[in-house]
Each structure stands twice: as C-alpha cells, then as structure tokens.
Chains A and B, each alone.
Chain A
Amino acid sequence: KNQVEQSPQSLIILEGKNCTLQCNYTVSPFSNLRWYKQDTGRGPVSLTIMTFSENTKSNGRYTATLDADTKQSSLHITASQLSDSASYICVVSYSSSGTYKYIFGTGTRLKVLA
C-alpha cells in the first residue's frame, strides 16, 4: 500500500535552534518527493521538489535530503525563526496509468518559541 509517514507529529523548539523532520514512504513507482510548508489557515506552499536522482536540495534555511534506497527524506531547518511555526507536509508522487498521483503525509506541526 502506498503510504507516507512523517515524524515527529509535533515539535517545539526555541528560536535560533536547528531541527530535522522525517518522512518515510512506501510509494512505488517513485516519481518525486515534495516538502510543503502550511501556515495555519492557509494553503500549502512548496519548499522543495526532488526527483529520484537528487540527494539534497536547499531553499534558503530549508534543506531537504532524499535517500531513494531506504525511501526516506528529511527536512532540516537551520537557525529557526518564529515564522517557521507551521505544519510541514511531505508528499510523494508516483506515476499511474499516464498520470501522476500524490500521497500526502499528515504533517509535522512545528512551533518555534521566542
């Protein structure tokens, strides 16, 4: 069964600290993996998109890694800011019958405290 699991479910850190969010998936055939940031009451915003051949991709203070062999990804946030407080969603895409399907994780809720 195609699944995406994220951990931890929630996380609280102090401003300025780093943190790493995890995403494990059992999706096949793998197409790409995306990380989104979703502020409360808003739609998700894309942070990174990685295909099979990419191991790491950065977007400012956000760095995503992908290990296609172990089917794991991580999102590392450096020098966290209060505005990083949000849900972070991992999405894995696979191809099926000529279209792309998307499996969403339930997200990690990050709270950054001053």
Chain B
Amino acid sequence: GAGVSQSPSNKVTEKGKDVELRCDPISGHTALYWYRQSLGQGLEFLIYFQGNSAPDKSGLPSDRFSAERTGGSVSTLTIQRTQQEDSAVYLCASSLGASGTLAKKIETQYFGPGTRLLVL
C-alpha cells in the first residue's frame, strides 16, 4: 500500500550544478504532477503528465527545467545549472487519470513528501 515516494528527500547542491529529482507514483496512477513550494509561497504548478506524455508544461519556469516520465510510472525532474532561487520543496502528486471530463475534474491528487532542494 505504498503512496507516492520521492527521492532524495533532501538535496544540497552548488550553484551551477545539475540536479535530478525522482518521483514514484502510486501504482496504477496514470496522471502525475510536479509542483514547487517556495518558502512563504503557495504551491506552484510545474508540469502534468498523462501516461508518458506531458500535455501541460506551462508551469516550467525556464528552459533549465525539464521532466520526463518513462513506462507510465517513474518521473524525473531535472534542473540544469541550478540557481539559488531554485531552492524550494519540489512536490510530486499522482492521480488515477480517469477518462471522462467529470471524473478527471474531481480526481484526488495524492502527494509525495517532497524533495527539499537547497542551492548554495
């Protein structure tokens, strides 16, 4: 009965380095979301996957951010040439990804514990 898991739980890196964050969604969930939670800010949507495709990448803040999902399961969020303003908690969520407009509209998203990224 595993929930959404994320790794690493904490990451400290130097400015300019690349980092890779991993998300393992709940088994069978086809929809996967990445969010960013900066100190004192609300969660900010980054990208949404349905299966392996990303119909909505509108939240990615710059071209240094990219994400992929393989096998309809694990997803990785990559941040290249990290900047200090990238420091935040990166949260992943998954949902069933039901077909049908109404079902998708009210689906519950299950969040992982997040990865706390600190860029020095």
Contact = CB atoms under 8 A, between A and B. Distances in A.
Contact of A43 (B48, B104, B106, B111): B111
Contacts of B40: 106
Interface size class of A (residues with CB under 8 A): 20 to 34
A32 B105 contact: yes
A102 B45 contact: yes
B79 interface: no
Contacts, number: 50
Interface string B35-73: 100001111110010000001101000000000000000
Contacts of B32: none
Contact of A41 (B35, B44, B106, B113): B113
A91 B93 CA distance: 14
Interface size class of B (residues with CB under 8 A): 20 to 34
A48 to B, nearest CB: 10
A31 B93 contact: no
Contacts of B114: 42-43
A46 B42 contact: no
Interface stretch (A67-75, A78-86, A93-101): A93-101
A45 B45 CA distance: 16
Contacts of A41: 113
A51 B105 contact: yes
Given A89-B42, A104-B43, A104-B44, A46 B113 contact: no
A46 B109 contact: yes
Contacts of A98: 55
9 contacts: A43-B111, A43-B114, A44-B91, A49-B106, A49-B108, A89-B43, A99-B56, A101-B45, A106-B42
Interface of A: 4, 31-32, 41-46, 49, 51, 89, 91, 93, 98-107
